[in-house]
């Protein structure tokens, strides 16, 4: 898919995703080694966006499995369409049982869910397994087979092996420690907060009307907030929101009043707002 | 700098270097299997050895499994794949000259230039000893002579004068001005780390990198001993409290779920079986009352174990919504309740220890810890705190300064509480040495060794009541 690491950066940038060297290198390796990519990091740094950008670059279909507590095999892998099967049985009353049986467990009655969808077919696909840590431990066992050998066993149909391996991205917010077995099958990538220079570039790309000096100031303030010991430090998504807010307010420069009034866009807890205001020497909020 | 890591290295040598590297990482508790090593080698093949930073990211992606391991990885990587070999060429620069150039690099925020200056600095000022075998390179000595922290005012002035990086309009800079000092401090901190890495590299050249990789690389934060953690490590540990608490909370919730599908209620199962002719078709499970347990913490906050107690208090506080009631008591040789100081949201982790010392009555006639008196006072004054639903954790090293350990008091508490656990931050081998009454107390209640955050996490997730 990619020829070199620079190629990865350049083509991701075309889709509007500015990748740090670490991200570009790991995506390149995931493609080369044909291994799934496990992405961890704080919320709002673009873990899910990465999968979307890769899909766009590769001209592939994005298949997404959103994990949540209680997600199970029938939501993740496949399910038989029971209602349709019943209809088929009652429609063909005069047929023998043998005929019916081979018929109702055919492709027509199979509802494919994301994992199976990603494996079947010849077109290129990107499989995004989002928030893997939210799923139960049992699902991890299922993922092991899928991600290790890219195959799925359906008892009535046999084992389905991928003819073309999808590019797999798993994301996690680390609320639960994923099992060592799953980690071992993946390349690990931690996306942290970007460097100042990269964040400035992201801002200018995402908020086109922002002038350069203001972007630099915004990034510096956000950097200072991240160095504080807050409950929830602002992420890239919040930085972009803030820049948009400033733009909408028509604030050409970053003054004390503007920062004080808009701190709520960056910080989501009242105690954080108070703490940050104190550290930044803002007057009472 | 994209100098080749090892330009003319043969395949065998690369493989050997890689194997040594993974070995050193394993020595720091990072679990790496053969599969990962093979992947790492394939990554090297795909990326080539031309660009050191690419190599670093590639190896990190294939060898690491978690975020916490990265700091150790970077340090070991610098030893096994050094940027250059030997010292810089050319005559050593004078101290003032180097400080001038460093000030300029700090003002311009040029990390690459700072890295080169770190190399020069260690070469010029870090060497000590002259006889082979006793000489080496010291980051401490380099930084003592160079004193980068004193450059702060100078850098600030030059950033302001030069308009800094921002462009220099008057108004917008006014607000971000106040961030400048912290930014410069962070840059200086970066330079200190660069000097440290460079000194390690130079020493490793002389002593063999295996030994340095084992001894001089700082371990991951969760494996640092509470008793020996320096101030910045404690701060680093504190930042892990919330993620750890979140993990423990999910683990507790999972245990609770499992416990809820618990045992069979025989009486109700038999009663139900009457409708099916005495055959128990449907087993009825015992219902669990949704009682949330109560927790009481007794923390020794005397100097020697304060770091451990602080950390545990914060952890329990972060877990507060898992319990119906959490009460925290601190003692040195008198005991006082500090629950209020830890109330959610108001707990400022940095000043916690100081505030506890300030606002609670913890010492009587003298300032050294006395477990016997403190336990006795607790059993007497706060008898109503401990009930059959309460789990009590005692945190401390059980060093009573030769005073009476007052075992009956602990026995009384244990008799009244549901469970009592003692978490001891000392290694097990030291229990009972000197003035430690650990074996006596261990005879009364379950005592667990709890030396670092990793052990604490494991113990807490096992012992906390569900």
pLDDT score for B114? 86
pLDDT score for B290? 60
- Residue B34 token pair: 């053969």
B437-442 own/partner pairs: CB under 8 Å, 24+ apart: B437/B371, B437/B398, B437/B399, B437/B400, B437/B405, B438/B397, B438/B398, B440/B398, B440/B405, B440/B407, B441/B371, B441/B394, B441/B398, B441/B405, B441/B407, B441/B410
pLDDT digits (tens, 9 = 90+) for B147-169: 888 888 888 888 877 654 444 44
B62 interfaces chain A, CB cutoff of 8 Å: yes
Helix (H) or strand (E) holding B331: strand B325-331
B173 versus B269: which is more confidently predicted?
Answer: B269
- Pick the range with the lowest mean pLDDT from B29-38, B180-189, B289-298, B325-334: B289-298
DSSP per residue, B81-124: S-SSSS--SSPPPPHHHHHHHHHHHHHHT-HHHHHHHHHHHHHH
Residue B330 has pLDDT above 80, yes or no: yes
Q: Could you give phi then psi for residue A179, rounded to 5 degrees? A: -70, 150
- Residue B97 token pair: 């000259």
- Chain B residues touching residue A271 (CB < 8 angstroms): 345
Handedness of CA B175, B178, B179, B181 (dihedral sign): positive
CB contact under 8 Å between A253 and B35, yes or no, is no
Terminal Cα distance for chain A, rounded: 52
Give me the residue from A25, A30, A183 closest to B65, CB to CB: A183
DSSP per residue, B297-318: EEEE-SGGGHHHHHHHHHHHHH
Terminal Cα distance for chain B, rounded: 54
Handedness of CA B29, B32, B37, B39 (dihedral sign): negative
Residue A108 has pLDDT above 80, yes or no: yes
- Chain A residues touching residue B183 (CB < 8 angstroms): 220, 223-224
Residue B5 has pLDDT above 60, yes or no: no
pLDDT score for B166? 43
B interface mutation test: which of A188, A193, A218 has the most B CBs within 10 A? A188
Residue B219 has pLDDT above 80, yes or no: no
Residue B314 has pLDDT above 80, yes or no: no
Is residue B342 a contact partner of residue B318, using CB atoms and an 8 Å limit?
no
B34 interfaces chain A, CB cutoff of 8 Å: no
CB contact under 8 Å between B172 and A221, yes or no, is no
Q: Which of A99, A169, A178 is nearest to A135 (CA)?
A: A178
pLDDT score for A190? 92
Give me the residue from B47, B57, B251 closest to A22, CB to CB: B57
A264 versus B362: which is more confidently predicted?
Answer: A264
Rounded to an integer, the average pLDDT of A10-17 is: 93
Smallest CA–CA distance, residue B58 to chain A, in Å, is: 6
Q: At what angle do helices B70-80 and B11-27 cross, to 10 degrees?
A: 140
> What is the rounded distance in angstroms from the CA atom of residue B466 to the CA atom of residue B292?
7
Residue of A nearest to B244 (CA): A175
CATH 3.40.50.410 fits B241-262+290-463, yes or no: yes
Q: Which residues are within 8 A (CB) of B87 and not within 5 positions of it... i.e. 6 or more apart?
A: B119, B123, B202
Is residue A225 a contact partner of residue B182, using CB atoms and an 8 Å limit?
no
Is residue B398 a contact partner of residue B410, using CB atoms and an 8 Å limit?
no
pLDDT score for A20? 92
Predicted confidence band of residue A65 (pLDDT cuts 50, 70, 90): very high
> What is the rounded distance in angstroms from the CA atom of residue B431 to the CA atom of residue B442?
10
- Chain A residues touching residue B111 (CB < 8 angstroms): none
Give me the residue from A189, A224, A256 closest to B61, CB to CB: A189
pLDDT score for B169? 43
Residue A3 has pLDDT above 80, yes or no: yes
pLDDT digits (tens, 9 = 90+) for B355-407: 777 777 777 777 788 888 889 989 888 888 888 888 888 888 888 888 888 88
Rounded to an integer, the average pLDDT of A167-195 is: 89
Is residue A51 a contact partner of residue B78, using CB atoms and an 8 Å limit?
no
Predicted confidence band of residue B183 (pLDDT cuts 50, 70, 90): confident
CB contact under 8 Å between A174 and B172, yes or no, is no
In chain B, where are the structural domains located?
Answer: 11-80, 95-218, 241-262+290-463
DSSP per residue, B383-417: GGG--TTEEEEEES--B-TTS---HHHHHHHHHHS
pLDDT score for A61? 93
Q: Which of B304, B301, B298, B297 is nearest to B436 (CA)?
A: B304
> What is the rounded distance in angstroms from the CA atom of residue B169 to the CA atom of residue B149?
28
Predicted confidence band of residue B61 (pLDDT cuts 50, 70, 90): very high
Is residue B368 a contact partner of residue B407, using CB atoms and an 8 Å limit?
no
pLDDT digits (tens, 9 = 90+) for B88-145: 766 667 788 888 888 888 888 888 888 888 888 888 888 777 666 667 788 888 888 8
Q: Which residues are within 8 A (CB) of B81 and not within 5 positions of it... i.e. 6 or more apart?
A: B5, B6, B17, B21, B52, B55, B56
Residue B353 has pLDDT above 80, yes or no: no
Touching A: B residues 225-284, CB under 8 Å? 238-239, 242-243, 246-247, 250-251
Residue A201 has pLDDT above 60, yes or no: yes
B interface mutation test: which of A32, A33, A210, A262 has the most B CBs within 10 A? A33
Give me the residue from A176, A221, A231 closest to B250, CB to CB: A176
Measured from the Cβ of residue A233, the count of other Cβ atoms closer than 10 Å reads 18
Contact residues of A toward B, CB < 8 A: 5, 21-22, 25-26, 28-30, 32-33, 35, 40-41, 174-177, 180, 183-184, 187-190, 212-214, 216-217, 220-221, 223-224, 227, 229, 231, 253-256, 259, 271, 280-281
- Chain A residues touching residue B53 (CB < 8 angstroms): 21
Q: How many CB pairs under 8 A join A and B?
A: 114
Residue B168 burial class via C-beta count within 10 angstroms: exposed 0-12, middle 13-18, buried 19 and up: middle
Residue B207 has pLDDT above 80, yes or no: no
Q: Where are the beta strands (DSSP E) in chain A?
A: 37-40, 61-66, 78-80, 110-112, 125-130, 151-154, 158-161, 167-172, 187-190
Residue B8 has pLDDT above 60, yes or no: no
User: Among 2.60.40.1120, 3.40.50.620, 3.40.50.300, 3.40.120.10, what is the CATH number of A5-70+113-190?
Assistant: 3.40.50.300
Rounded to an integer, the average pLDDT of A81-92 is: 86
Is residue B33 a contact partner of residue B23, using CB atoms and an 8 Å limit?
no
For chain A, the C-alpha Rg in angstroms (whole number) is 24
B165 interfaces chain A, CB cutoff of 8 Å: yes
Residue A235 has pLDDT above 90, yes or no: yes
CB contact under 8 Å between B61 and A253, yes or no, is no
Give me the residue from B36, B42, B178 closest to A281, CB to CB: B178
Residue of A nearest to B39 (CA): A33
**Does the interface ipTM go beyond 0.95?**
no
> What is the rounded distance in angstroms from the CA atom of residue B184 to the CA atom of residue B193?
14
pLDDT digits (tens, 9 = 90+) for A270-282: 888 888 888 877 6
Q: Which DSSP category does A135 fall into?
A: S
Residue B1 has pLDDT above 50, yes or no: no
CB contact under 8 Å between A227 and B186, yes or no, is yes
pLDDT score for B154? 84
pLDDT digits (tens, 9 = 90+) for B249-285: 777 777 777 766 667 788 888 888 888 888 888 878 7
> What is the rounded distance in angstroms from the CA atom of residue A104 to the CA atom of residue A86?
9
Average pLDDT, chain A: 88
> What is the rounded distance in angstroms from the CA atom of residue A17 to the CA atom of residue B159?
32
Rounded to an integer, the average pLDDT of A107-123 is: 89
Residue B313 has pLDDT above 80, yes or no: no
Residue B309 has pLDDT above 60, yes or no: yes
CB contact under 8 Å between B247 and A175, yes or no, is yes
CB contact under 8 Å between B242 and A231, yes or no, is yes
Residue of B nearest to A180 (CA): B65
pLDDT digits (tens, 9 = 90+) for A148-157: 888 888 888 8
Rounded to an integer, the average pLDDT of A118-130 is: 91
A interface mutation test: which of B34, B52, B56, B61 has the most A CBs within 10 A? B61
Q: Which DSSP category does A125 fall into?
A: E
Rounded to an integer, the average pLDDT of B175-194 is: 83
- Distance, C-alpha B88 to centroid of its chain: 35
């Amino acid at each position: 898919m990619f020829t070199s690491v620079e190629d990865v950066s350049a083509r991701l940038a075309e889709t509007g995703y500015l990748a740090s060297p670490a991200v570009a290198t790991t995506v390149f390796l995931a493609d080369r080694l044909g291994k799934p990519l496990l992405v961890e990091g704080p919320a709002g740094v673009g873990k899910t966006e990465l999968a979307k950008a890769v899909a766009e670059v590769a001209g592939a279909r994005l298949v997404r499995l959103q994990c949540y507590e209680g997600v199970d095999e029938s939501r993740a892998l496949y399910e038989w369409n029971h209602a349709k099967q019943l209809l088929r049985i009652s429609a063909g009353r005069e047929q023998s049982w043998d005929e019916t049986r081979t018929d109702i467990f055919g492709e027509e009655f199979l509802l494919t869910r994301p994992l199976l969808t990603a494996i079947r077919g010849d077109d290129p696909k990107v499989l995004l397994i989002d928030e893997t840590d939210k799923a139960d431990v049992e699902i991890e066992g299922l993922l092991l087979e899928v991600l290790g050998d890219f195959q799925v066993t359906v008892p009535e149909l046999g084992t389905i092996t991928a003819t073309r391996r999808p590019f797999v991205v798993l994301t996690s917010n680390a609320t639960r420690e994923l099992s060592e077995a799953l980690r071992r099958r993946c390349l690990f990538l931690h996306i942290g907060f970007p460097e100042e220079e990269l964040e400035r570039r992201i801002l200018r790309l995402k908020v086109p009307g922002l002038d350069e000096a203001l972007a630099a100031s915004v990034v510096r303030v956000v950097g200072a907030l991240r160095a504080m010991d807050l409950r929830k430090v602002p992420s890239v998504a919040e930085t972009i929101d803030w820049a948009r807010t400033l733009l909408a307010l028509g604030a050409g420069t970053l003054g004390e009043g503007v920062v004080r009034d808009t701190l709520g866009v960056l910080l989501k807890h009242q105690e954080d707002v108070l703490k940050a205001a104190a550290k930044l020497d803002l007057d009472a909020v | 700098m994209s100098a080749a890591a090892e330009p003319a290295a043969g395949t065998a040598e690369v493989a050997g270097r890689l194997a040594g590297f993974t070995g050193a990482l394993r020595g720091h508790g990072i679990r790496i299997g053969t599969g990962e090593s093979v992947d790492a080698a394939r990554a090297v093949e795909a990326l080539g050895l031309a660009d050191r930073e690419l190599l670093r990211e590639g190896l990190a992606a294939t060898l690491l499994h978690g975020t916490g391991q990265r700091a150790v990885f970077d340090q070991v990587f610098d030893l096994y794949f050094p940027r250059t070999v030997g010292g810089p060429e050319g005559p050593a620069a004078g101290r003032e000259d180097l400080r001038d150039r460093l000030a300029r690099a700090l003002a311009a925020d040029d990390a690459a230039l700072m890295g080169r200056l770190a190399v020069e600095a260690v070469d010029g000022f870090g060497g000590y000893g002259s006889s082979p075998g006793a000489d080496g390179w010291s980051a401490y000595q380099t930084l003592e002579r160079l004193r980068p922290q004193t450059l702060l005012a100078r850098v600030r002035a030059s950033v302001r004068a030069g308009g800094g990086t921002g462009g220099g309009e008057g108004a917008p800079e006014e607000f971000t001005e106040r961030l400048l000092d912290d930014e410069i401090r962070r840059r200086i901190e970066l330079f200190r780390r660069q000097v440290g890495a460079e000194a390690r590299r130079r020493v490793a050249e002389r002593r063999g990198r295996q030994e340095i990789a084992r001894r001089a690389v700082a371990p991951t934060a969760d494996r640092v001993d509470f008793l020996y953690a320096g101030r910045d490590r404690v701060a680093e540990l504190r930042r892990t409290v919330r993620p750890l608490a979140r993990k423990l909370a999910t683990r507790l919730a999972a245990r609770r779920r499992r416990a809820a599908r618990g045992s069979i209620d025989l009486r109700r199962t038999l009663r139900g079986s009457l409708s099916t002719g005495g055959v128990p078709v449907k087993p009825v499970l015992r219902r669990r009352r949704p009682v949330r347990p109560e927790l009481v913490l007794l923390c020794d906050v005397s100097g020697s174990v304060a770091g451990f107690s602080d950390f545990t208090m914060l952890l329990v506080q972060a877990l507060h919504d898992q319990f119906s009631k959490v009460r925290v008591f601190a003692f040195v040789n008198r005991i006082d309740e500090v629950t209020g100081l830890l109330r959610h949201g108001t707990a400022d982790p940095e000043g916690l220890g100081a505030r506890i010392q300030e606002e609670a009555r913890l010492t009587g006639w003298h300032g050294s810890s006395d477990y016997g008196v403190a336990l006795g006072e607790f059993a007497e004054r706060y008898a109503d705190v401990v009930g059959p639903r309460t789990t009590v954790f005692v945190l401390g090293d059980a060093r009573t300064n030769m005073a009476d350990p007052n075992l009956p008091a602990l026995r009384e508490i244990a008799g009244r509480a549901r469970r009592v656990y003692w978490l001891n931050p000392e290694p097990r081998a030291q229990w009972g040495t000197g003035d430690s009454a650990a074996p006596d107390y261990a005879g009364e209640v379950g005592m667990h060794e709890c030396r670092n955050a990793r052990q604490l996490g494991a113990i807490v997730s096992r012992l906390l009541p569900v």
